[in-house]
């Protein structure tokens, strides 16, 4: 494992109340601005990225407040090493943010097997491996807050993003079960569900399936819809994130961005209507009462 500073040095002049954050995908986007917000208020941050050269500016600015570590979230061994190094360096973990992820654009029929597996390896399994690596330490200390970065696409689904949606729905299901499993150990879990933000999610890190002509009409419609939306500034999310990590009773789910609740209320109204409309038929699946 590579670090930009001496991993053996644990001399950190922070207040006793400062938190220790472990953040994946800290080179840009949400991960970067949340790391900077935590450091600016005097917290300590384990900043991880595939390429830790991108972390040099925050290391130079914040010195021993930050521990930069190379981490490939798709490798469970790499996750264990990084978490172990973080605990050895700072002595504890208070906030673990699984932020690493990327967008995969393509209709379900267009996406290749390799693309689908790579999407899940990062967006779902990456969060799983880091979560599993962190839990023994959080249980031992009797506290900690795991924050999973999901998406508005983790509670609804859009054409052209089906496999991305599936990876986030998997993260949602795992995390909802997890919160009940670890509550008695003093560990909290929150799913962040952002609306579109101006991050690298749709930039250079995004993947594109090979388009099929048959889906041109659907593709044009969805791209036009998203083209009318103004993405949020990731920097604007920092105040909400700091409030979430500081509250005694954080929610399991939290939307980031305007309009999310209204969109999901409509979605769930349609779901309930469909379930109720077919209730009599579905009840027959259990045989006569």
3-class state of residue 193 by DSSP: strand
User: Which residue matches tokens 């949020």?
Assistant: 232
Instruction: Read off φ and ψ for residue 198, nearest 5 degrees.
Output: -80, 65
> 266: buried, middle or exposed (CB in 10 Å: 19+, 13-18, 0-12)?
exposed
Q: Please choose, from the candidates 63, 125, 70, 117, the residue with its C-alpha nearest in 3D space to the C-alpha of residue 98.
A: 125
Cβ-contact 89, 46 below 8 angstroms: yes
Q: Hey, which residues are catalytic here?
A: 150, 164, 168
Distance from first CA to last CA of the chain, Å, rounded?
A: 62
Rounded distance, CA 128 to CA 238, Å? 24
Angstrom CA distances, 248 to 145, 150, 245, stand at: 10, 22, 8
């Amino acid at each position: 494992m590579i670090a930009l500073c001496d991993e053996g040095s644990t001399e950190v002049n922070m207040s006793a109340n400062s938190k220790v954050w472990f953040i994946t995908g800290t080179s840009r986007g949400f991960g970067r601005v949340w790391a900077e917000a935590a450091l600016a208020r005097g917290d300590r941050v384990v900043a991880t990225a595939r390429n830790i050269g991108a972390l040099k500016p925050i290391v130079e600015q914040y010195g021993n407040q930050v521990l930069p570590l190379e981490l490939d979230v798709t490798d469970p061994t790499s996750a264990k090493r990084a978490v172990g190094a973080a605990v050895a360096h700072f002595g504890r973990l208070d906030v673990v943010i699984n932020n690493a992820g990327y967008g995969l654009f393509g209709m379900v029929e267009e996406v290749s097997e390799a693309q689908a597996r790579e999407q899940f390896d990062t967006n779902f399994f990456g969060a799983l491996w880091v979560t599993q690596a962190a839990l023994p330490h959080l249980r031992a200390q009797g506290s900690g807050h795991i924050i999973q970065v999901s998406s508005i696409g983790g509670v609804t689904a859009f054409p052209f993003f089906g496999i991305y949606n599936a990876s986030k729905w998997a993260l949602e299901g795992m995390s909802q079960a997890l919160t009940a499993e670890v509550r008695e150990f003093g560990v909290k879990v929150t799913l962040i569900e952002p609306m579109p933000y101006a991050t690298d999610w749709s930039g250079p890190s995004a993947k594109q399936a090979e388009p099929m002509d048959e889906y041109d009409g659907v593709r044009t419609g969805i791209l036009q819809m998203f083209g009318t939306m103004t993405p949020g500034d990731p920097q604007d999310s920092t105040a909400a994130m700091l409030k979430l990590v500081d509250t005694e009773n954080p929610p399991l789910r939290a939307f980031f961005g305007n309009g999310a609740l209204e969109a999901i209320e409509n979605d769930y109204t349609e779901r309930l209507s469909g379930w109720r409309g077919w209730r009599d038929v579905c009840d027959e699946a259990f045989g006569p009462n």
